[in-house]
A and B are shown apart, each in its own frame.
Chain A
Amino acid sequence: MNRREAIGRVALIMGGTLIGAEYLLSGCKPHTSANSVSELFDQDHEAFLNEVADTILPDTPSSPGAKAAGVGPFMAVMVRDCYETPDQDVFLKGIGKIDEAAQKKFSKGFMDLDATQKTALLTDLDKEAKEYAKTQKPKQPNHYFRMMKELTLLGYFTSEVGCTKALRYVPVPGRFDGCIPYKKGDKAWALS
């Protein structure tokens, strides 16, 4: 990121909603003692997170979903390396809370739900997270589902699948054209 982008992003963040920009500018705010992902997450967790991610960003005719981009394992790495202990706790407990919510709504664990049920459940949680954010105090941790959604977006749109299939990735543009036609449906450029 260069200085101009940093300036632009500060301007944009004022809306308070830019997940990617917020991440790039201030980073994840961290403290952790775990040395390996497996100390925090087991393989079941990663599979679980892959399902959550793939429900947030599923396969469509336009591009593969988050599971194909390995977003579950990516989330585990980010939570291990970039989250403070209190945030790690919120995140880990969130996995259990999703299962509880699934039991409550459908009398089944999250992994046993069908795609429609998963979407319905996480849509509820997204609403809950947005409501929580409205009354969130500055020192309070984020809602676990917001964390999962942010990491899913970051993990997906910076992955090889995301950059090359959901976006258009041009490693060496070779030129700059300041004004080209755009029609609805054209994909955005991937970041460098």
Chain B
Amino acid sequence: MSTNTYDAIVIGSGISGGWAAKELTKNGLKTIMLERGRDIVHVKDYVNANKAPWEFPHRGGRTVQMEKDYPVLKRDYPLNETNLDYWVNEKESPYVEIKRFDWFRGYHVGGRSLMWGRQSYRWHDVNFEENAKQGIGVDWPIRYKDLEPWYTYVEGFAGISGNRDHVEILPDGNFMPPMEMNCVEKDVAARMNAYYKDHDRHMIIGRTANITKPLPGRTNCQYRNKCWLGCPFGAYFSTQSSTLPAAVATGNLTVRPWSIVTKILYDKDTKKAKGVEVLDAQNNKTYEYYAKIIFLNASTLNSAWVLMNSATDIWPDGLGSSSGELGHNLMDHHLGVGAGGTVEGYEDKYYFGRRANGIYIPRYRNLHNEKRDYIRGFGYQGGAGREEWGRAIPEMAIGGAFKDALSEPGEWTMGIGGFGETLPYHENRCYLDKNVKDHWGLPVLAIDATCKDNELKMRIDMANDAKEMLENAGVKNVQTFNSEPVLGRGIHEMGTARMGRDPKTSVLNEWNQVWDAKNVFVTDGACMASAACQNPSLTYMALTARAANHAFEELKKGNV
């Protein structure tokens, strides 16, 4: 056996790659995990995690130079001084925007599992069935019952805190104790739930991948709200805190950073992939690795890139391109729309600790036979808190009384922002642009995707409903916001290699296997046939665990 031969290869080390590695190694498969960027060692490499605000020269803000170096990242909140090293070097790794698409990437061990928002919600059968019922895209080849045991399994291992709210559209899970709402959230939720009790609208505490009880090797959340710097307590789920140590503990895992997978090597005789070609990002040399099973978890757009760049004379448009759907049906969640206002009568109340979680309002539109002028729906995230020192005090100018007033908390405010479902449009796509090369001379992706009529109509409800619900729950001075909808900004890219029931219209089968090469599994966001409106990572975890265990069973039977 050559030193470059393994039982399984995992391409990518983010949320889904970490899960693939954990499940494959647990089953005894010798596995190599290939990561295109640098290593980040748990705790040791979280270099800013214990710094005080004043230890950052610009107090966490952004400089001219940062804005110059990160022309994409600067478009939204992620560009900041405190975790700049976790975001991709945009000069080395450009992409082409046919239309504006905000692509926020992390090229390192752990990928975006280090910086993710951690909100974790199950899907419901409604989400799996709507494509078929409405004739949109293709039917999901699975239903909730196929994923339910895997949701339970990954929730238990990853550690998801949440309340069992019995909201039908948002199935309860295998939760750790929930985080607490603050006094205003509790009362606003109670008033909202009462007002809308016949309309099935609910405000619940967010379900988040922050643990509220210890797990092996991990300490429960300390309420610092510095998650995206990397957590020295291992209190939120990341590859580093959770799946990677489990995979390493089996003795079956090899991690190779600086490994850009340039193509999957297809063997015409066996009609399977035999391995991958790797470009070492540091020495620019090419290596080959071989395995019986390949898990592609490079993130939605980069997994499509790997497949497209794996062209052969059989499939000049790439491995998995026979349906014509590879790279198409790119989705995200559209956001930046909602409302906020002030809450009176709680001046004698405050809170202790910085809860890295908020409230959630699950989807309620277009359910129970309701028909709006758009299809699908949206959920809201938000929260209440007291204003801080940055607030205006119109009646004060400068001086000691001004300083002392700002040293006290201000008014209570409450805001909610929508996360809307985006439909899978064939024409929303990415493709290889061979005229533009990255730092390593590889062709880059061109991205051509936009929100359409259905999303734009939905946003009107997202703004108006937010205002109406907050007002009906007693929030005052409510104002709406509705920013320009931009895809990518949700950082929930999905759909470029969708699952389906028919190889003519989909890239993957019901087990996430590439129809054209059954030992290649794609289990990141690329596999999604629709987007729903829930934050998607928990579903990627469940799909990955399910596919990895299926892969192992098939391998035992000699089927892959």
**What residues of chain A lie closer than 8 Å to B391, measured between beta carbons?**
17-18, 20
**Which candidate, B127-135, B163-171, B393-401, B505-513, is the interface stretch facing chain A?**
B393-401
Whether B54 lies near A160 (C-beta < 8 A) is yes
**Interface size in chain A (residues, C-beta < 8 A):** 83
- Given A119-B398, A160-B54, A186-B408, are A14 and B381 neighbors across the interface (CB < 8 Å)? no
CA A37 – CA B389 in complex, angstroms?
27
Nearest CB in chain B to that of A167: its residue: B407
- Given A7-B382, A11-B415, A176-B353, are A25 and B77 neighbors across the interface (CB < 8 Å)? yes
CA A163 – CA B481 in complex, angstroms?
31
Whether B354 lies near A192 (C-beta < 8 A) is yes
Whether B398 lies near A7 (C-beta < 8 A) is no
- Residue among A7, A123, A160, A174 making CB contact with B223, cutoff 8 Å: A174
**What residues of chain B lie closer than 8 Å to A45, measured between beta carbons?**
none
**What residues of chain A lie closer than 8 Å to B74, measured between beta carbons?**
27
Whether B222 lies near A174 (C-beta < 8 A) is yes
Most chain B beta carbons < 10 A, residue from A8, A177, A180, A183: A8
- Residue among A27, A174, A187 making CB contact with B62, cutoff 8 Å: A27
- Given A4-B357, A63-B407, are A56 and B398 neighbors across the interface (CB < 8 Å)? yes
Whether B413 lies near A192 (C-beta < 8 A) is no
CA A28 – CA B391 in complex, angstroms?
17
Interface residues in A113-140 (C-beta closer than 8 Å to B): 119, 122-123, 126-127
Interface residues in A143-192 (C-beta closer than 8 Å to B): 149, 153-160, 163, 166-167, 169-192
CA A126 – CA B388 in complex, angstroms?
21
- Residue among A11, A171, A187 making CB contact with B417, cutoff 8 Å: A11
Whether A177 lies near B352 (C-beta < 8 A) is yes
**Which candidate, B94-102, B152-160, B179-187, B425-433, is the interface stretch facing chain A?**
B179-187
- Given A10-B481, A191-B388, A192-B225, are A173 and B354 neighbors across the interface (CB < 8 Å)? yes
Whether B223 lies near A17 (C-beta < 8 A) is no
Chain A positions 32 through 59: 1 when the CB is less than 8 Å from some CB of chain B, otherwise 0 = 1000000000000000000000011111
CA A115 – CA B388 in complex, angstroms?
27
Give the dominant DSSP class at B's interface: loop
Whether B53 lies near A163 (C-beta < 8 A) is yes
CA A123 – CA B397 in complex, angstroms?
6
Q: Is A111 an interface residue (CB 8 A)?
A: no
- Residue among A55, A62, A158 making CB contact with B398, cutoff 8 Å: A55
Whether B226 lies near A192 (C-beta < 8 A) is yes
Q: Is A30 an interface residue (CB 8 A)?
A: yes
Q: Is B173 an interface residue (CB 8 A)?
A: no
Q: Is A97 an interface residue (CB 8 A)?
A: no
Whether A176 lies near B351 (C-beta < 8 A) is yes
**Min CB distance, B207 to chain A, in Å?**
13
- Given A28-B61, A57-B403, A180-B351, are A175 and B415 neighbors across the interface (CB < 8 Å)? no
Q: Is A21 an interface residue (CB 8 A)?
A: yes
Whether B339 lies near A11 (C-beta < 8 A) is yes
CA A179 – CA B416 in complex, angstroms?
20
- Residue among B182, B349, B397, B481 making CB contact with A181, cutoff 8 Å: B349
**What residues of chain A lie closer than 8 Å to B76, measured between beta carbons?**
6
Whether A192 lies near B224 (C-beta < 8 A) is yes
- Name 21 A/B residue pairs within 8 A (Cβ), A-sorted: A3-B381, A6-B76, A7-B338, A8-B340, A8-B383, A8-B415, A20-B390, A23-B61, A31-B64, A63-B404, A77-B57, A77-B58, A82-B58, A127-B397, A158-B59, A166-B406, A173-B222, A176-B180, A181-B348, A186-B408, A188-B409
Extra contacts besides A65-B403, A188-B408 (12): CB < 8 Å: A3-B117, A10-B336, A17-B392, A20-B391, A23-B61, A81-B57, A119-B398, A122-B397, A158-B59, A175-B223, A182-B409, A191-B388
